[in-house]
Amino acid sequence: MTDQPQKIVALVDGSVYSASVCENAAWISQRTEAPVELIHVLGRREAPEKRDLSGAIKLGARSALLQELADLDAQRAKLISHRGRAILEDARAILDKAGINEITTRLRQGDIVEAIGEIEADARVIMIGKRGEAADFAKGHLGSNLERIIRASTKPVFVAARAFKPIEKVLVAYDGGVSAMKAVDHIARSPLFQGLLVHVVTVGTATAEVKKGLEDAKALLKAAGLEAETSIIPGQPETALGKLIDESQFDMLVMGAYGHSRIRTLIIGSTTTAMIRSCKVPVVLLR
């Protein structure tokens, strides 16, 4: 093991969410003293590549036209790379302004999930915006890469909301499942949550098992020096949690990516998806 602190990996794509991703990364870095790595991934359709254009033109075409098409393709690839570097420079400027000193940038090619798989070993958290570049055109949908990253990553995934807001009150959705217990343990161990109010809530019926689970969660948080409260509220998680966040003005939701009663499949839990879609605050997911 190395004493080097694990880095905050922030994925930026130039969307309206990228500024929020950077501002949240700066906030986490200030509280944890972790360095930040900014990453922009050129998708396979964007990535510069050599293509044989001759098949697109039939007999009789001039070789000069083929060369012109090849030149245009090379120019497009160059512009896409320049755009990626510009996005990273803008992101770095946000972190510089926040006083973050340890910043690295990386432009990668290929599939974003494969990129995460290669870099997450040294990451303490993966940060991404709730929606991508088409955010204004798809307000009811999550970013196309978000679910894939949550499904693939073994590290906490921080899903940034559209606008950054300093975080003081944290709501933890607790269902007694493995990922929910992992979320509480993560909060107890992380310097990020020191000094914040943490409220652990279960949506459902107040059974003896539920009460015991909440008592254990509260005890773990209290032992870590955190101000913790618990409650049990009725209703369906998707609506009850969203209402509680709005009414009590929580600044962040932490939850497991899978419910305890759900067999792990190739998709994340439906409650998780619904909460990310409806929540107006950042959501931190742990598997």
Q: Is the dihedral of CA 272, 277, 278, 281 positive or negative?
A: positive
User: CB count, 10 Å around CB of 255?
Assistant: 27
Average of per-residue pLDDT across 188-212: 93
User: Whole-model pTM above 0.75?
Assistant: yes
Cβ pair 252, 161 in contact under 8 A: no
If residue 231 lies in a helix (H) or strand (E), which one and from where to where? strand 227-233
Tokens at 114, concatenated: 């494969």
Q: What pLDDT was estimated at residue 130?
A: 85
Confidence of residue 189 (pLDDT cuts 50, 70, 90): very high
What domains sit in the chain, N to C, each tagged with a CATH number?
A: 7-46+81-160 (3.40.50.620), 169-281 (3.40.50.620)
Q: What pLDDT was estimated at residue 163?
A: 92
How confident is the model over 31-73, as pLDDT tens digits? 999 999 999 998 755 555 555 555 555 555 567 777 788 888 8
Please list, in sequence order, all residues whose beta carbon lies within 8 angstroms of the beta carbon of residue 231, skipping any fewer than 6 positions away.
199, 200, 201, 202
Q: What pLDDT was estimated at residue 62?
A: 65
How confident is the model over 257-286, as pLDDT tens digits? 765 444 333 334 566 677 777 788 999 998
